């Protein structure tokens, strides 16, 4: 049965594979995880009510449902103090894996065990576009479990970290996507997290903001949390992460120290590029 559970609930001798040679206590255990999306209305005819009713009676699937098997049996263990970069091509399953660890997507098969509350900081983090940056800071702090007094205490630090200046008084819908992302990161980063997950947050900031974010991620790691970072910027991964997991079509292609995995991934991309170029060269053109 699929589940998302606290680590304390699993028995000590459970057989869960880990490639990280870490002695630190585990914070996240992903055990043979499968995530299947069901896409309704995917092609075909729209059908009609009697046909749908017959299908329900016969317990048949709708012919218009397509299944996307995004994560195909992933297992790993993350430890306290690790900063793990998730890398891989578009559609390889990075965001899906983060959302599953955050408990936002129920496993179709397998399980995710977490120690403490994971926080997902992503493009869709729940801030309100009609509210000002100022109101959103308070909202975000309360959503992370702070009291109103604690939220007020952290307010100035968040504004300063975000670097938004006077924009903080304007509604968030007036922000560029980079500015909104900076605010989200600034809110999430003010607190120590057991497990902090960042989906491409650093890609949108300018160089100075990126430097501050990288520094903060290092501190968060030192504060004994675990950080997951999805990024297409391989430089950010090697500079910020101690470990990298390379996903390919929903499975783990490689898991190890960040430099080694990024090097192998870069080599594979270059080799694939060279193969494509060769194929193009071998294809006769219309004029030949
Ligand atoms: N809500 C959804 N419904 C159906 N399929 C989805 C959904 N979200 C993602 N997918 C599919 O799941 C697979 C993995 O997607 P995911 O977004 O996790 O990949 P990713 O590695 O984060 O990609 P990118 O680097 O482009 O952000 C893809 O085939 C994608 O089409």
Ligand 1 touching residue 231 (CB < 6 A): no
* Residue 75 forms part of a structural domain: yes
Return the residue matching tokens 């080694």: 260
Tell me what the mean pLDDT of segment 159-165 comes to: 92
Its pTM stands at 0.77
Q: What is the pLDDT of residue 248?
A: 96
Q: How far is the CA of 101 from the centre of ligand 1 (A)?
A: 15
Tell me what the mean pLDDT of segment 40-66 comes to: 69
Ligand 1 touching residue 37 (CB < 6 A): yes
* Same domain flag for 270 and 149: no
* Residue 244 forms part of a structural domain: yes
What is the ipTM for the molecules in this complex?
0.97
* Same domain flag for 152 and 239: no
* Same domain flag for 126 and 170: yes
- Residue 44 predicted with pLDDT over 60: no
* Residue 98 forms part of a structural domain: yes
* Same domain flag for 92 and 171: no
* Same domain flag for 74 and 135: no
Q: What is the pLDDT of residue 13?
A: 38
Ligand 1 touching residue 123 (CB < 6 A): no
* Residue 11 forms part of a structural domain: no
Mean pLDDT of the chain: 83
Return the residue matching tokens 């959302």: 99
* Same domain flag for 124 and 167: yes
Ligand 1 touching residue 178 (CB < 6 A): no
Of 61-70, 126-135, 189-198, 242-251, minimum mean pLDDT range: 61-70
209-212's contacts with Cβ under 8 Å and 24+ in sequence apart are 209/163, 209/182, 210/236, 212/161
Q: What is the pLDDT of residue 64?
A: 72
Tell me what the mean pLDDT of segment 42-55 comes to: 67
The answer to whether the CB of 185 falls within 8 A of the CB of 220 is: no
pLDDT tens, residue by residue, 168-196: 999 999 998 888 888 988 888 888 888 88
* Same domain flag for 29 and 112: yes
Q: What is the pLDDT of residue 204?
A: 64
Provide the CATH number for the domain around residue 100: 3.40.50.300
Q: How far is the CA of 71 from the centre of ligand 1 (A)?
A: 10
Beta-sheet strands, E only, within the chain? 3-6, 26-39, 66-79, 83-87, 109-114, 118-121, 195-199, 226-230, 243-248, 251-257
* Same domain flag for 138 and 172: yes
pLDDT tens, residue by residue, 97-147: 999 998 889 999 999 999 877 887 765 556 788 999 999 999 888 888 889
Residue whose C-alpha is closest to residue 119's, from 200, 12, 10, 195:
195
Please report which confidence band the pLDDT of residue 42 belongs to, taking 50, 70 and 90 as the band edges. low
Boundary (domain end) residue, out of 146, 170, 192? 192
Ligand 1 touching residue 122 (CB < 6 A): no
* Same domain flag for 131 and 187: yes
Please report which confidence band the pLDDT of residue 3 belongs to, taking 50, 70 and 90 as the band edges. very low
Q: Which residue has the higher pLDDT, 238 or 200?
A: 238
* Same domain flag for 73 and 111: yes
Tell me what the mean pLDDT of segment 52-72 comes to: 79
Q: How far is the CA of 69 from the centre of ligand 1 (A)?
A: 10
Q: Which residue has the higher pLDDT, 76 or 177?
A: 76
- Residue closest via CA to ligand 1's atom 7 equals 37
Tell me what the mean pLDDT of segment 10-36 comes to: 68
C-alpha separations of 228 from 52, 107, 118, 151, 189 in Å: 42, 19, 10, 25, 13
The CA dihedral of 239, 241, 246, 251, to the nearest 10 degrees, is -160
Please report which confidence band the pLDDT of residue 18 belongs to, taking 50, 70 and 90 as the band edges. very low
Boundary (domain end) residue, out of 171, 192, 213? 192
* Ligand 1 atom index nearest CA of 99: 18
* Residue 267 forms part of a structural domain: yes
Ligand 1 touching residue 40 (CB < 6 A): no
Q: What is the pLDDT of residue 11?
A: 36
Tell me what percent of the residues of the chain surpass a pLDDT of 70.
82
* Residue 56 forms part of a structural domain: no
Domain containing residue 244: 24-44+62-116+194-203+224-277
pLDDT tens, residue by residue, 259-281: 999 999 999 999 988 888 888 88
User: Domain total for the chain?
Assistant: 2
């Amino acid at each position: 049965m699929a589940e998302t559970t606290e680590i304390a609930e699993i028995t000590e001798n459970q057989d869960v594979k880990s490639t990280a040679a870490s002695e630190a206590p585990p914070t996240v255990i992903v055990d043979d995880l499968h995530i299947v999306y069901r896409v309704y209305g995917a092609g075909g005819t729209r059908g009609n009510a009697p046909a749908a009713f017959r299908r329900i009676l016969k317990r048949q699937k709708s012919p218009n449902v397509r299944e996307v098997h995004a994560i195909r049996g992933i297992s790993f263990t993350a430890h306290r103090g690790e900063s793990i970069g998730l890398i891989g091509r578009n559609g390889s399953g990075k965001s899906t894996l983060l959302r599953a660890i955050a408990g936002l997507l129920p496993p179709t098969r397998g399980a995710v065990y977490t120690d403490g509350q994971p926080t997902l900081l992503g493009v869709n983090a729940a801030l309100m576009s009609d509210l000002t940056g100022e109101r959103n800071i308070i909202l975000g702090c309360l959503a992370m479990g702070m009291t109103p007094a604690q939220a007020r205490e952290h307010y100035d630090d968040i504004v300063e970290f975000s670097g938004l200046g006077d924009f903080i008084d304007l509604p968030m819908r007036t922000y560029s996507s980079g500015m909104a992302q900076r605010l989200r990161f600034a809110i999430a980063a003010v607190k120590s997290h057991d497990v902090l997950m960042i989906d491409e947050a650093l890609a949108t900031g300018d160089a100075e903001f990126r430097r501050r974010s990288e520094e903060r991620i290092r501190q968060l790691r030192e504060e004994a949390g675990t950080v997951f970072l999805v990024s297409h910027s391989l430089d950010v991964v090697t500079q910020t992460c101690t470990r990298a997991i390379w996903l390919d079509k929903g499975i783990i292609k490689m898991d190890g120290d960040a430099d080694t995995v990024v090097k192998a991934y870069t080599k594979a991309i270059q080799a694939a590029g060279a193969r494509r170029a060769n194929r193009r060269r071998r294809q006769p053109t219309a004029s030949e």
